[in-house]
């Protein structure tokens, strides 16, 4: 894969995350997990290129994110849509996602990603905060929550961008 400067990333990340979806992957070669996300964003904070990732605490992937300094966000060609659906509807607690999807894990960066990715953001956690009811200036967003399942927001530096040419 070719390495890009984050400022050279030339695609609509609202569409990549929101419509195409991405995988969030964390852990080690011995033990890792991945899940689909369609909420999040990229931007600049503290003069660094960052991603904003939102993970509910009941996800198995949450445990890996909590225990890792690094994780990846990766995007895939459309032919992997069903793989991303599976990673977003089944838990790694119950199934082996690489085995079920055919996605091939790669461990040559500080967090795993999959060989089939067309774009990989290697992310280093900078800041976490749990969303909460009192933060909602528009209470209608609270319809997304049922009980104590507020997303944890991870603000993470994009330390590397890899693209498949
Ligand atoms: C299209 C799509 C987008 C999703 N986006 C998110 C998200 O942004 N944050 C989140 O916590 N869960 C999201 N999910 C749900 C998780 O991917 C899902 O619960 C997954 O099975 C968790 O897997 P795990 O238990 O192996 O971590 C999404 C699911 C789908 C299908």
pLDDT per position as a tens digit, 25-41 = 999 999 999 999 999 99
**pTM for the model:** 0.98
- Is the pLDDT confidence value at 137 over 90? yes
Q: Which residues contact 130 (CB under 8 A, 6 or more apart)?
A: 150, 151, 152, 153
Per residue in 98-133, pLDDT (tens digit) is 999 999 999 999 999 999 999 999 999 999 999 999
**How much distance in Å is there from the Cα of 130 to the middle of ligand 1?**
17
Distance from the CA of 85 to the center of ligand 1, in angstroms? 9
Q: What is the DSSP letter of 150?
A: P
165 has pLDDT over 90:
no
Mean pLDDT for the stretch of residues 72-98:
98
From CA 84, how far away is CA 101, in angstroms rounded? 8
Residue nearest to atom 29 of ligand 1 (CA): 88
| Alpha-carbon gap, residue 74 to 51, rounded angstroms | 12
Which residue has the CA at smallest separation from atom 18 of ligand 1? 88
Our mutation pick for probing the ligand 1 site, out of 27, 76, 88, 89, counting the most ligand atoms within 8 A of Cβ, is 88
**Which CATH fold would you assign to the domain 2-163?**
Pnp Oxidase; Chain A (2.30.110)
Quote the ligand 1 centre to 158 CA distance (angstroms).
Answer: 21
Q: For 20, which DSSP code?
A: I
* 67 pLDDT higher than 90: yes
Helix (H) or strand (E) holding 83: helix 81-89
* Centroid of chain to Cα 42: 11
Whole-number average pLDDT of the chain: 98
What is the model's pLDDT at position 65?
98
């Amino acid at each position: 894969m070719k390495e890009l400067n984050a400022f050279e990333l030339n695609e609509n990340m609202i569409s990549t995350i929101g419509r195409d979806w991405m995988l969030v992957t964390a852990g080690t070669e011995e033990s890792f997990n991945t899940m689909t996300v369609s909420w999040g964003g990229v931007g600049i904070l503290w003069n660094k290129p960052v991603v904003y990732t939102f993970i509910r605490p009941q996800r198995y992937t949450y445990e890996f994110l909590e225990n890792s300094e690094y994780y990846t966000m990766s995007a895939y060609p459309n032919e992997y849509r069903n793989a991303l659906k599976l990673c977003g509807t089944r838990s790694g607690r119950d199934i082996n996602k690489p085995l079920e999807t055919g996605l091939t894990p790669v461990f040559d960066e500080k967090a795993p990603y999959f060989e089939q990715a067309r774009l990989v953001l290697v992310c280093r956690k900078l800041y976490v905060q749990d969303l909460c009811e009192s933060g909602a200036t528009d209470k209608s967003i609270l319809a997304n929550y049922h009980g104590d399942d507020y997303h944890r927001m991870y603000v993470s530096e994009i330390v590397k961008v890899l693209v498949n040419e």
